[in-house]
Structure 1
Amino acid sequence: MKPLRIALTKGRLESSTAKLMEKAGLDCSALHDKGRRLILPVGDSLEAVLAKAGDVITYLEHGVCDLGVVGKDVIMERGGQFFEILDLKFGKCGFALAAPKGADFYGGYGGKTIATKYPNVARRFFQGKNMDVRVIKIEGSVELAPLLGLADGIVDLVETGATLRENGLMVVEPVAEVSARLIVNAASLKLRKGEIEDLAARLEARLDK
């Protein structure tokens, strides 16, 4: 039978996943010496595909990968047809609502404008508060939007808060916690349930160890 194929988010999540897989007894030497290769063997029963975060979900949904490792931020924004089976406990940060320091974001009666790279996350957050806001999607540094007067606040990923502070912004309210998740293609979970559950159990046993 062909190896299980797992799509890994390139960069820090890829590196952290490789460390976890090694703790679980998998040979990740090819990942450490990959050169320009994007499909690499992991032990005898697994094959890693290196991809951008959003593409991890795409590859699972189209059935070319069985499993994937992607941040909860991408899952919350994109959604999709897959199962989320394990919180991997690394890549931790959080979505937060931030606004200029000293501003009363919830004050006044006028409508608010929010800048964000994650419009779906932002809309759901404010819908939960029964607030009607205008959401503007920004591709680059969202911190610029309040500084330029384009938005009253931002919804973005925050790790330490240093970038916010350096740009005169403050966290108004946390939105959601984020970490890396192991996701699985629905068809693969039916057809190769035993293999997938075994791998997930091996990884889970090595979390925080």
Structure 2
Amino acid sequence: MAEPLIFAIPKGRILDEALPLLAEAGIVPGADFHDKDSRALRFGTNNPDIDIIRVRAFDVATFVAHGAAQLGIVGSDVLEEFKYSEIYAPVDLDIGHCRLSVAEPRELAETDDPREWSHIRIATKYPNFTRRHFEAKGVQAECVKLNGAMEIAPALGLTRRIVDLVSSGGTLKANNLVEVDVLCEVTSRLIVNRAAFKTRPAVMALVERFREIVAAR
């Protein structure tokens, strides 16, 4: 008997939008998945051939790339950061809409022109993508890697600018920051491990099911 497929889904902002899609695809987590006091990371579903793991968004890509999970849902920002060759992203799920942007203090933005940058220092959890983006523009980006609390970096003098995900812009406004450049628009994707896609028919079937669901919306 084959081991259950492992489907990695992210904690946080994408989860609420991902669960209805999973349900349409016939994957409903067990009741313990919704237990806020549970410390479990792996959960059964209504399908005995599919288990779910709930991990950080960056870790979704790592689990799938290395074959520890066969499928996952993750933002295109994460895919751009890691560029794993082992990952195939066949379906844009049209959820998790936001953008990856450069932000800086309001008083700096009043006179700053991104078109004149030649060297910038930026706090971000996307150092690889940020460097590539600015290199393509002829700008040298010195990236300080942070995993959170990005918006406080300018106020404490760590960096003058940040690159982070922006949705409503409310967090930026609360920290006296404004967007001055957009690196990319972001949506969430269904991702699969390339080897599993080729060797496990159930993975291929799920990809087709998600394509049908998105097309019908």
Normalising by structure 1, report the TM-score: 0.86
**Counterpart of 2:146 in structure 1: which amino acid?**
I
Q: Please say if residues 125 and 145 of structure 2, whose CA atoms lie closer than 8 Å, have aligned partners that are also in contact.
A: yes
Q: Does 1:65 align with 2:73?
A: no
Q: Please say if residues 124 and 143 of structure 2, whose CA atoms lie closer than 8 Å, have aligned partners that are also in contact.
A: yes
Q: Deviations over 1:37-82 (max 9, x none)?
A: 4231242442222222222222223322211111222222222221
In 1, the alpha carbon distance for the partners of 2:137 and 2:102 equals 13
In 2, the alpha carbon distance for the partners of 1:161 and 1:169 equals 9
Q: 1:46 aligns with which of 40, 43, 50?
A: 50
**For residues 145 and 49 of structure 1, do their structure 2 counterparts lie closer, same or farther at Cα, with a shift above 3 Å needed?**
closer
Q: Please say if residues 29 and 43 of structure 2, whose CA atoms lie closer than 8 Å, have aligned partners that are also in contact.
A: no
Q: Does 1:99 align with 2:104?
A: yes
Q: Does 1:199 align with 2:199?
A: no
* RMSD of equivalent CA atoms: 2.3
Q: Please say if residues 41 and 47 of structure 1, whose CA atoms lie closer than 8 Å, have aligned partners that are also in contact.
A: yes
Q: Deviations over 1:158-177 (max 9, x none)?
A: 01111112222211111111
Q: How many residues align?
A: 206
Match of 1:85 in 2: 90
Equivalent positions of 1:1-209 (< 5 A) are: 1-24=2-25, 26-30=26-30, 32-34=31-33, 35=35, 36=38, 37=40, 38-80=42-84, 81-101=86-106, 102-106=110-114, 111-192=119-200, 194-207=201-214, 209=217
Any runs of at least 4 consecutive aligned residues in structure 1 with deviations exceeding 6 A, and if so which? Answer: 107-110
Normalising by structure 2, report the TM-score: 0.83
**For residues 202 and 129 of structure 1, do their structure 2 counterparts lie closer, same or farther at Cα, with a shift above 3 Å needed?**
same
**For residues 198 and 161 of structure 1, do their structure 2 counterparts lie closer, same or farther at Cα, with a shift above 3 Å needed?**
same
Moved more, 143-152 or 88-97: 143-152
Cα offset for 1:27? 4.7
**For residues 123 and 15 of structure 1, do their structure 2 counterparts lie closer, same or farther at Cα, with a shift above 3 Å needed?**
same
In 2, the alpha carbon distance for the partners of 1:133 and 1:50 equals 33
